[in-house]
Structure 1
């Protein structure tokens, strides 16, 4: 008659995540994408090390999807110029490396991409308190807001 307890827990977690997404600033959404990709890569490493090929494949695919459909898609190449172009190339590199890791069950490649994503996330977090990142109008911008 009722679903399993785990189904309820999953539904609650999904609602919590969706609420976080709706309430998040654009900056926070990017951090959430980095975090999601990093969690997927940790799960992929566990899958490689435990021999769970299905878990590995699903997790690497999820990380690639987050990188390509989330992080790369969020780039504004016109406004971002060379920095956005460089990030686009880096994200493309990461996705290609993860495909290789998936085909070869190579944890060192997954770890390489983890390091790259962690460095980018840390840099992104370092700018978290700047006015441009928070989206909060500043006094000198109030007239145009």
Structure 2
């Protein structure tokens, strides 16, 4: 859960800064679409990290990693496909691409930290069991 909270705070700052630049480049009308894209991508990112951490706690490492990847990639991509069909705005797709790449980078860094932390705990447990 710590990684999910870290991701939430980091993405709020990062996407907020990029949102200001987005407003300067595309104008005030495009900020709503950027905020929508940022919320969708950040929501799926936090969900993916929570699923991964919960699966690691119960010992389903592979299922957690696979579920995290599927949530992280398919969620925003399916959302942008549906929204692009109904919202015929030229700024919606670039906003999703920008937010998706920023959240994917941040989630990958935190996901690697999460996997390394669980590998370290697993090694400590196995060494403690072998000592007994």
In which range does the TM-score fall when normalised by the shorter chain? 0.3 to 0.5
Q: Which has the higher helix share?
A: 2
TM-score (norm 2): 0.37
TM-score (norm 1): 0.35
